[in-house]
Amino acid sequence: MNADTVCALYEEAARLRLGLGAGGPWLRAHMDSDAVHHLVPDPASYYWPDGERRWWQCTALLRMSDGEQVTGMLAVLPETMAG
């Protein structure tokens, strides 16, 4: 996944107030724009007792411009992940 896509997902999570993911201009400024970034979704049903998954908790593995790899959490809508 490229840096633009990751930043757009963080912006969506913030705009929708999904609770995980606080990107912003600092994220884009520090991410390696040429690197491949990864999201690993955990669509486990135990998050939602009624069975309706409103968002998936994802682990983000990001490469920063100084070469460091960092991890974080990000909420992603299921329809966004499927698209």
pLDDT digits over 60-78, tens only?
999 999 999 999 889 888 8
CA angle 13, 17, 20 (to 5 degrees): 55
Comparing CA positions, the residue from 71, 13, 12, 11 lying closest to residue 37 is: 71
Please report the pLDDT score of residue 63 as a whole number.
96
- Tally of domains in the chain: 1
- Domain extent, residue 23, equals 3-82
E strands in the chain = 38-42, 56-63, 69-76
Please report the pLDDT score of residue 44 as a whole number.
65
Please report the pLDDT score of residue 24 as a whole number.
75
Residue 59 has φ and ψ, to the nearest 5°, of: -95, 130
Please report the pLDDT score of residue 66 as a whole number.
95
Using left for φ > 0, alpha for ψ between -120 and 50, and beta otherwise, residue 24 falls in left
Is the model more confident about 53 or about 31? 31
The amino acid at residue 55 is: W
Q: Is the pLDDT of residue 42 over 90?
A: no
Q: Is the pLDDT of residue 23 over 80?
A: no
Q: Which pTM was predicted? A: 0.80
